[in-house]
Structure 1
Amino acid sequence: MVMSITLSLHKGKIIYLYVKINGEPMSRILKAMIVTPMLLLICSSFTFASKIMIAKAALSAGLLPFQLGLSGNFGAAILLFLLVRIHSEKIPTTRRHLALYTSLALISFAAPTVLSYAVVDRVGPAYTSTVYSLSPILTMSFAAGLGVERMFVRRAIGILIGFVGMIALVQQQLTLIDTEQTLWILLGLLIPAFAALGNIVRTRFWPEGTSAQAFACATLLASCLIILVMAPMFEDVTQWRLTSYSDWGWTIGMIAILALLYVLNFQLQKIAGPVIFSQIGYWGTGFGVVLSALLFGDLLSGLALLGLCMIICGGLIARKPASQ
């Protein structure tokens, strides 16, 4: 290990101290020690659950889903673009990178959204929300099959424990599923498959030298274009409005939470890989259940609390081995 220290003195007092270890600034090393994948997973999941709470309140106030999605994503993209410029970073815009951003918008947003609308209409919302719990299992399988990440027994056990915990958490919703719609139940399995595929694509084709906020900004802008195309198919866009303080307040809140969420998500994926990242589906649902109980008075059953404990245990077990 090689340590270098640079001092600046003025009248015998240290006014500047710069420390490097093996050529790396000490501040960057400390940041890497503090910002761990587990901490990022918790923060990302809590932010994800908070986004759901804000969306629920905004929709109840009269905003439409695609209107909220477009304004939130575009506003968050603007905030991240300013952050990218402040840090003198660049967003790659070659033909290959533009294709990547568009593909991610289609895989991670367009396809799951269209399927969700169709499946909710025919099978019910309970199945649509529950099926997302398959995303970590599918991500782990895809990652191992495509050689993106190795399969570890400990990680597989952790993911399965989290899955069981997720089922326990939403067990009351499972009774509301219309099991006669076999075809749409099978098609609904494509929703977590697309989510898992998006996780793999982001990791496998991450633009070299691109920061999390730059990649997130580009993906958000691409998703805005997809929303613009899709919105007239599902909503009456002439009913979009921002006419009250409430409308503006919820929209600004969604912009802020989305900007934070995307930075956390992409940073988590960058340092932890697709399998750990995919557990946001478990942890986010857990935080969502707790926040719903605190904010909206929803009841927490003993089985739901057991499910929360299993999700936490599964996440701890599934952490990437220290050797990596």
Structure 2
Amino acid sequence: MMATAQRSIIPPQSLIWGLLLANGFLIALMLALAKAATSQGMPAMTYAFWQTLIAGAVLLVCAGKRRSLLAPRLSRYFLISGLTGIAIPNAIGFYLVTKLGAGFTGIMYALPPIFTFLLAAGLGLEKRSWIKLAGLSIAVVACAWIVLQRHSEISSPNALWFAMGLLIPAMLSIGNVYRSVAWPSGVKPMILASGTLLASSATLGLFAGLTRTSIFPETTGLQLVSIVGVQGLLTALTYLCAFELQRRSNPVFYSQLGAVAAMFGLLIGVIWFNERYSVGIWLGALVVILGLRISNRTKPTSPEI
């Protein structure tokens, strides 16, 4: 009876939206910390490696049944989930944040919803809904508008940076669908988050070796070490929340996490880094929120699996 009462304190819908907002804020904060570290000379690949290694180790220590990480059936899940959801998009994001700013890079994390929706609908994981498609389309078009506005504000922009940025939503969309389709039964979110983060750190370490990127930069000082340590703890909390959100929602609802992170990213960019955005960018941000609001005008049970 007590357990039932505890479960009823927070309605399922409120819990899901709370996880979405908290997770979006944590992702935006992670990008801000990444900019603070990489702008001091730490390579993006190195930063992403230590971020995921520390976070995965923290969750591993806190998790029970650690031996389940070695289960053969989970190896492929950890590898694919780690590459598509963490290693590739984060390494690119941490590199671009020093080139294009925290706010703009955060926008790249807002683009996956419509691609995730199309993938999920094609696989039969999501019911076809014109309202949802219209809302997500409005949000993505608004994000594209922000990209164009930001492009015009950057002096001597490099087209390759923007092309690299598009790999972030592409990888995240694939990862969103894969994690739901291949979700291992009977495994706790903390174990899945830990294994995915550790698999990501292993692949990033391999990439660093292949590209001759130092894992222990000589310029690393106490301040950088502190930032990396805080980032590792934040990342552990972020991905624990992320896997819990994915367990409670479907791929399309989960993919809206990026848009929430993008909005927080704009605010953090202004408050922390004194980044300045035009009226057009702020109007685009409002349209993103409007589009997401429209896309969620479905039955209350739609976010639940």
The answer to whether the superposition gives a TM-score over 0.5 is yes
In structure 2, what is the Cα distance between the partners aligned to 1:235 and 1:55?
Answer: 21
- What residue in structure 2 maps to residue 312 of structure 1? 289
Q: Please state how far the C-alpha of 1:238 moved relative to its aligned partner.
A: 6.5
- What secondary structure sits across from 1:214 in the alignment? helix
TM-score (norm 2): 0.83
Query: Runs of 4+ in structure 1 displaced over 4 angstroms?
Result: 109-118, 124-133, 176-179, 184-191
Summarize the alignment of residues 25-40 of structure 1 with structure 2, pairs less than 5 Å apart: 25-33=4-12, 35-40=14-19
Q: Assess if the C-alpha contact under 8 Å between 2:89 and 2:171 holds in 1.
A: yes
Is there any run of 5+ residues in structure 1 with no aligned partner, and where?
Answer: 1-17
Give the number of aligned pairs: 294
Provide TM-score, normalisation by structure 1: 0.78
1:105-158, CA deviations, whole angstroms, 9 ceiling, x for partnerless residues?
23334555788899x7xxx86998766554211110000001122122222122
Residue 273 (structure 1) aligns with: 250
Is the CA contact 1:104–1:198 (under 8 Å) kept in the aligned structure 2? yes
Once the two structures are superposed, residues 138-182 of structure 1 have per-residue CA deviations (whole angstroms, 9 ceiling, x without a partner) of 110000001122122222122112113323333333336666x8x
2:171 matched residue in structure 1: 194
Asked if the contact 1:139/1:200 (under 8 Å) is kept, the reply is yes
Pair 296,191 (structure 1): closer, same or farther in 2 beyond 3 Å: closer
**1:80 partnered with 2:63:** no
Q: Which moved further from structure 2: 262-271 or 59-68? A: 59-68
Identify, as 1 or 2, the structure richer in helix: 2
Aligned twin of 2:138: 161
Displacement of 1:54 after TM fit?
Answer: 0.5
Highest RCO, 1 vs 2 (Cα 8 Å, sep ≥ 6): 2
- Which residue in the other structure is 1:301 paired with? 278
Partner of 2:240: 263
Deviates more, 1:235-244 or 1:271-280: 235-244
Instruction: Find the counterpart in structure 2 of residue 219 from structure 1.
Output: 196
Counterpart amino acid of residue 98 in structure 1: S
Counterpart position of 1:19: 2
Q: Which has the higher strand share?
A: 1
Closer, same or farther in 2 for the Cα pair 1:253/1:112, shift >3 Å? Answer: closer
Larger Rg: 1
**Residue type at the aligned position of 2:19:** L
RMSD: 3.2
Tell me the secondary structure at the aligned position of residue 2 of structure 2. Answer: strand
Residue 170 and residue 238 in structure 1: after superposition, are their counterparts in 2 closer, same or farther (change >3 A)?
closer
Q: How far 1:91 sits from its partner (Å)?
A: 3.7
Deviations 1:7-65 (A, max 9, x none): xxxxxxxxxxx535xxxx32133345475322222111111110011111111233222
Output the CA distance in 2 between the equivalents of 1:74 and 1:285: 25
How far 1:262 moved relative to its partner?
A: 0.5
- The letter of the residue matching 1:105 is G
Q: CA deviation at 1:204?
A: 0.7
2:84: which partner in 1? 107
Cα contact 1:92–1:207 (8 A) shared by 2 = no
Aligned partners of 2:188, 2:80: CA distance in 1, in Å?
Answer: 19
Q: Which amino acid in structure 1 is aligned with residue 46 of structure 2?
A: Q
2:268 aligns with 291
Q: Corresponding residue for 2:227?
A: 250
Deviations 1:53-85 (A, max 9, x none): 111111123322222112111111122122223
